[in-house]
A = this chain, B = another copy of it.
Amino acid sequence: MSECVTDFRVARNELERFMLAVLARAGADEASASAVTRALVTASRMGTDSHGLRLLPHYVSVLQGGRVCGSPEMRFERRLPATGYLDAGNGFGHLAGYTAMRHAVEMAEEVGMGAVAVGRSSHFGAAGCYALAAAERGLIGLALCNSDPFVLLHGGRHPFHGTNPIAFAAPVADSPPYLLDMASSSIPWNRVQQYGAIGRELPDQVAADGEGRVTRTPAEVAALLPLGGADFGFKGAGLGGMVEVLSSTLAGMANGFRLLPMGGPDMSTPRGVGHFFLALKPDAFAPGDAYPARMRDYLDDLRAQPGRGEARVLAPGDREWTCQAHRDAEGIPLDSANQAAYDELAERLDVAPLQRLRGAGQR
């Protein structure tokens, strides 16, 4: 969560109205436009700004370029009672993600657990959206995805894995879920660009130059280090590999090292991204219904821990739910770059411009 320095805030329903209209004009069918909008608004409400509204112009480009099909024929095959495969038909990863997780949830409700590998897909935004979709149905969810290479192997010289995220959500009775959504690198690629733009040094052990040597100078960066840095990056790289195996090899897709870059210039060739979704029924394990009480005990114990100095200890997701409550009340901020990009989309696609939230910027 990083609140932009901005006075432009938009209400959630207005943002949804705009996204749905823009995507429809750019060629997305209703299911695709709804799924992309749901994922982007979910991320923006939670403060995951790297995977929120800023991606809309990118998705318009891939739709208009032909890389992503706006009216895909997605085919789900349940291979065994707990497993299945979704051929995403080169449609939006968001539609693939919500569809696959819905099937995983349905299998889990029936046999205790369900998993779906997805092939022929595309970028799906924030992995957390799909783990969350399982938790909203009362199940534990795991969502994984590969991507084109940005991250070194441990001891490697050039990027090999993507930032291959792990998202895990677990339901909590009468509360928002426990939600972990993390890349297997320490920082995302756009952090390098942000720091470069403001002339700031990167933290140590997060990025490397073209020879694989650690650097803190954004202009020298050619790759991210895996979580754990130069000494313990075998752990981050191993997690990235686990994500890769489950996302691409199970789906019969090429591994991330062979993926076309998300950023182009080719915006017309489908990329063949793979995903993996898992849902578990919490009460299908220990007898009785121990899970809700144990989860509550765990979070109570966690949140009661003393922080270091002024620091407060948080459970994964706490920061996001706080941000979401704030943004639901005060609006979702757009920085000046996103305002300009959204104005351009409105004009080019003949969609009514985004209306600023009444009262925002006037306090």
A302 with B160: CB separation less than 8 A: yes
A155 with B307: CB separation less than 8 A: yes
The interface stretch among A40-48, A64-72, A312-320, A326-334 is: A312-320
B112 with A308: CB separation less than 8 A: no
- In the complex, A129 has a CB within 8 A of chain B: no
Alpha-carbon separation in the docked complex, A155 to B313 (Å): 6
- In the complex, A235 has a CB within 8 A of chain B: yes
Closest to A243 in B: B168
Q: Mark A261-289, 1 if CB is under 8 A from B, else 0.
A: 00000000000000000001110111110
Closest to A235 in B: B182
Report A147-163 residues with CB < 8 Å from chain B CB: 152-158, 160
Alpha-carbon separation in the docked complex, A195 to B305 (Å): 28
- In the complex, A343 has a CB within 8 A of chain B: no
Given contacts A235-B186, A252-B294, A316-B238, contact A153 B302 (CB under 8 A): yes
The interface stretch among A4-12, A13-21, A73-81 is: A73-81
Given contacts A140-B245, A249-B294, A308-B212, contact A111 B313 (CB under 8 A): no
For the complex formed, measure the closest distance between the CB of A66 and the CB atoms of chain B, giving whole angstroms.
25
Closest to A310 in B: B155
Alpha-carbon separation in the docked complex, A158 to B311 (Å): 12
A281 with B228: CB separation less than 8 A: no
Alpha-carbon separation in the docked complex, A249 to B282 (Å): 9
Contact of A241 among B178, B255, B257 (CB under 8 A): B178
For the complex formed, measure the closest distance between the CB of A342 and the CB atoms of chain B, giving whole angstroms.
31
Which residues of chain B come closer than 8 Å to A211, judged between CB atoms?
308-309
Given contacts A178-B241, A301-B258, contact A157 B306 (CB under 8 A): yes
Given pairs A82-B113, A211-B308, 17 additional interface contacts (CB within 8 A): A80-B110, A81-B82, A81-B111, A117-B286, A140-B246, A160-B301, A160-B302, A168-B242, A213-B308, A228-B228, A250-B286, A250-B291, A251-B285, A252-B287, A252-B291, A255-B298, A257-B302
What are 7 A-B contacts defined by CB distance under 8 Å? A82-B113, A156-B311, A212-B307, A227-B235, A241-B316, A248-B294, A252-B287
